[in-house]
Chain A
C-alpha cells in the first residue's frame, strides 16, 4: 500500500475499496483516504479561504469519516466524504461573523494588478466573494470535477438546480476575474 502519495484509482478500484471499507477494512480506509485527502483539503481551503481553518476542517472530516465508518451505506465514498467536509465547513463559516455575500448586481471589484496580488490570492479572494451556495457548487464542479449528479447528492439539491448554480457561479466569477485574466493571458 502506498503512503504519502496520492492514490490514483480507477473507477473499478474505487468501487472495490469502497466495498471493502463498508465491510470494515482499515486498509480500504487508508486507500480511500489517500485518494481523497488532496481533494478534500483543496475543497476546505477554497470554501473557508483560510489555511488554518481548512486544516482543522480537513482533520475533522477524516476523523468523522473514520468514526462513522460503520454508518456508511452508500456506494459513493467521494460524495459521502464531501458531504461531511461541506457540513464541517459550513459550521465553521457560521461561527464567523456574518459573511458579506454578493449578488450579480453588487459586484464592484476594483481593478487589482498582478503586482498587488498573486494569482492564487486573487482567485481566492474572488471565490470567497461568491455566495456560499454558488461557491460550493463551483468548487465541486471546477476543482473536484464532480458530476452534476454527485453535486446534487452532496448538496442535497436537484441536478437541474446544481447546473443552474454552477452556471451562475461561472458568470459571477467571470466578472470578478476578468481584469486579471486579461492581464494574465492577454487578448487571445
Chain B
C-alpha cells in the first residue's frame, strides 16, 4: 500500500491494526513518507481551521428567519384552495343538473323508444281484439251467445276488430309519429279515425250495441298508451317505466358530508372538517350498483406553534410591548418569553395556536344495495373499501334516494367512514367519522328492448 493510501485511510480512521503498524513503521523509516504525512496533516489542519473560521453572519440569519416567518404566515393565512374547489364542484354539479333538467337527451336511443312503443302497441292491439270480441260476446243474451259465436257476423266482427286494431298500428307507425311535437296531434287524428270508424253500420243493433262501448275502449286505448309514450319523450327518455322494466344504468353522484361525531381527533383542536366525494356507479343487477368513489377529506387542526414575531420598530423591546400586542389579539395567544428575547430584540418568540390545513385524497370501490320504497323513493346501503394516501379506508353509508324527476336524484343519509392517517399526530392514527351525508345523482340508462 502506498503512502497516499495509508494517509487517506488514516484520515478516515479506516486503518486496521496490521496496516496501522505497517504505516507507523513506514513513517519511522522513510523520511519522504514522513514529509508527505506531515504535509497532509498540515493541510487537514488548515481545512479544519478554515471550516471553523466560517460563521453564519447574524444579519443573514435574521434575514432568513424573517423570510421563513413571512412564508409561514403566508401559508397559514392563505385562503384554503379546498373551498374554492368545493365551490367549483358545486357549480359544475348545478350546471349538469340544470342542463339535464331542461334538455331532452338526444343520445341515439330513439330506435329503442320506437321499439318500446311498438311492443306496447302490439300488446294493446291484442288486448283490444280480445276486449272487442269479449264485449260483443258479453252483450249478447245468454241464449244467443252460441248463435252469435258461430255466426258469420261474429267471424266478420272478429276480422273487423283485428283490422281496426291493425289500422291503429299503421297510423301509429307513420313517420310523423316519431316527431315528438306532432305526436299528440297525430294521436288525436288516430282517435278521431277510430271513433268515426263506421262500426255501427255493420253491427246488428238488435244483438248488441257496440258504439258506446267501442268508443270507450278506443278512448281507453289512447289514454292508456299516450301518457306513457308522451311522458317518456317529454322527460328526456332517461328512465321509462322504472318500476316495470329492469334497467341498466350509470349513476354519477356527488356527496358532501357534514360531520356529527369524530373519533381519533382532539375535539378541542379540530376546527373544521369536511368530506366531499364523487362516484360513478353501474347498475349490475336489479338492485345492486357497483362503482368507484373518489374524494377528499380536509380539516383545519389547531396546534400550539412557536413562531418568531418581528419586534416593533422604535418600541421598547421586550416583554411589555409584545404582551400588549398579544393581549389585544385575545386570550388565545400565549406569549413565551425567555432570555433570548433580550439578546436579540428584533424578534420575540411566541407560541400561539395556529390552524394548519390538512388534505387527504382517497379512492374506493363501493357496492350499493337499492331497496325501492315507492316509485320515487328508494333506500340505498353502500359499502366502501379503499385507500388513502396514508393507508386504508372503509365506510358504510345509508341514504335515501329521492327521484322527483327522471334521471336526477337527491340523497340524504348517514355515513360512517374510518381511515388511517398519521396527521395530526397527537391522537390515534385510526380516525372515524360519523356524519350526515347529502348529495345529488344523475342517471343514464342503457337498456335495450
Over the window 35-66 of chain A, the binary record of Cβ atoms lying under 8 Å from chain B Cβ atoms (1 yes, 0 no) is 00110011001100000000100110011001
**How many angstroms from the CA of A26 to the CA of B347 in the assembled complex?**
16
Tell me what chain B mostly uses at the interface: helix, strand, loop, or mixed: helix
Query: A26–B72 contact, CB under 8 A?
Result: yes
Q: Which of A30, A45, A123, A188 contacts B46 (CB 8 A)?
A: A123
Do A26 and B425 have beta carbons less than 8 Å apart?
no
Answer whether A58 and B38 are a contact pair too, CB < 8 Å, given A3-B340, A42-B54.
Answer: no
Q: A45-B54, A59-B63, A184-B46 are in contact. Are A23 and B39 (CB under 8 A)?
A: no
What CA separation (Å) do A58 and B60 show in the bound complex? Answer: 9
A4 x B71 contact (CB < 8 A): no
A66-B56 contact given A3-B347, A174-B39, CB 8 Å threshold: no
Name B11-64 residues within 8 Å CB distance of A. Answer: 11-12, 35, 38-51, 53-58, 60-61, 63-64
Contact residue among B5, B43, B349 (Cβ-Cβ distance under 8 Å from A173)? B43
Taking a contact as CB atoms under 8 Å apart, the answer to whether B47 and A123 are in contact is: yes
Q: Please, how many residues of chain A have a CB less than 8 angstroms from a CB on the other chain?
A: 46
Q: How large is the interface on B (under 10, 10 to 19, 20 to 34, 35 or more residues)?
A: 35 or more
Interface residues of B in 170-219 (CB under 8 A from A): none
The A75-118 residues at the B interface (CB cut-off 8 A) are: none
Q: Judge whether B305 and A26 touch: CB under 8 Å.
A: yes
Would you give the 0/1 interface string for A1-32, flagging 1 where the beta carbon is closer than 8 Å to chain B? 11110000000000000000001101100100
A166-184 interface (Cβ within 8 A of B): 166-167, 170-171, 173-174, 177-178, 180-182, 184
Closest to A19 in B: B425
CB distance from B360 to the nearest CB of A (A): 12
A153–B347 CA distance with the chains assembled, in angstroms:
36
Chain A, residue nearest B49 (CB): A119
Q: Evaluate whether A123 and B50 lie within 8 angstroms (CB atoms) in the complex, with A1-B349, A38-B56, A63-B67 already known.
A: yes
List which B114-154 residues lie within 8 A (CB) of chain A: none
Chain B positions within 8 Å of A63 at CB level: 64, 67-68, 71
Q: Indicate if the CB atoms of B340 and A26 lie closer than 8 Å.
A: no
* Identity of the chain A residue whose Cβ is nearest the Cβ of B53 in the assembled complex: A120
Question: If A4-B340, A143-B47 touch, does A24 touch B71 (CB 8 Å cutoff)?
Answer: no
The answer to whether A185 touches B45 (Cβ under 8 A) is: yes
What string of 1s and 0s marks CB contacts (under 8 Å) between A152-175 and chain B?
A: 000000000001001100110110
B71, A170: Cβ atoms under 8 Å? no
Taken together as a complex, chains A and B put the C-alpha atoms of A110 and B252 apart, in Å, by 78
From B4, B12, B51, B344, contact of A3 by CB (8 A): B344
| Distance (whole angstroms) from the CB of B53 to the closest CB of chain A | 6
A38 to B60, CA, bound (A): 11
Q: Please state if A55 and B60 are interface contacts (CB–CB under 8 Å).
A: yes
A163 to B45, CA, bound (A): 20
When distances are taken between beta carbons in the complex, the residues of chain B under 8 Å from A24 are 356, 423-425
**Complex interface residues of chain B between 59 and 105 (CB less than 8 A to chain A):** 60-61, 63-64, 67-68, 71-72
Is the beta-carbon distance between B38 and A188 smaller than 8 angstroms? yes
A72 to B: closest C-beta gap in Å? 13
Going nearest first, the 3 A-B pairs with the smallest beta carbon separation are A181-B42, A188-B38, A185-B42
25 A–B contacts, CB within 8 A, in A order? A1-B306, A3-B344, A23-B425, A24-B423, A24-B424, A24-B425, A26-B305, A41-B56, A45-B54, A59-B63, A63-B67, A63-B71, A142-B44, A142-B48, A143-B50, A143-B51, A148-B12, A163-B12, A171-B4, A173-B47, A174-B43, A178-B43, A181-B46, A182-B39, A187-B38
- Apart from A120-B53, A170-B40, list 8 A-B contacts with CB within 8 A: A4-B58, A26-B305, A26-B307, A119-B50, A163-B12, A171-B4, A174-B43, A178-B43
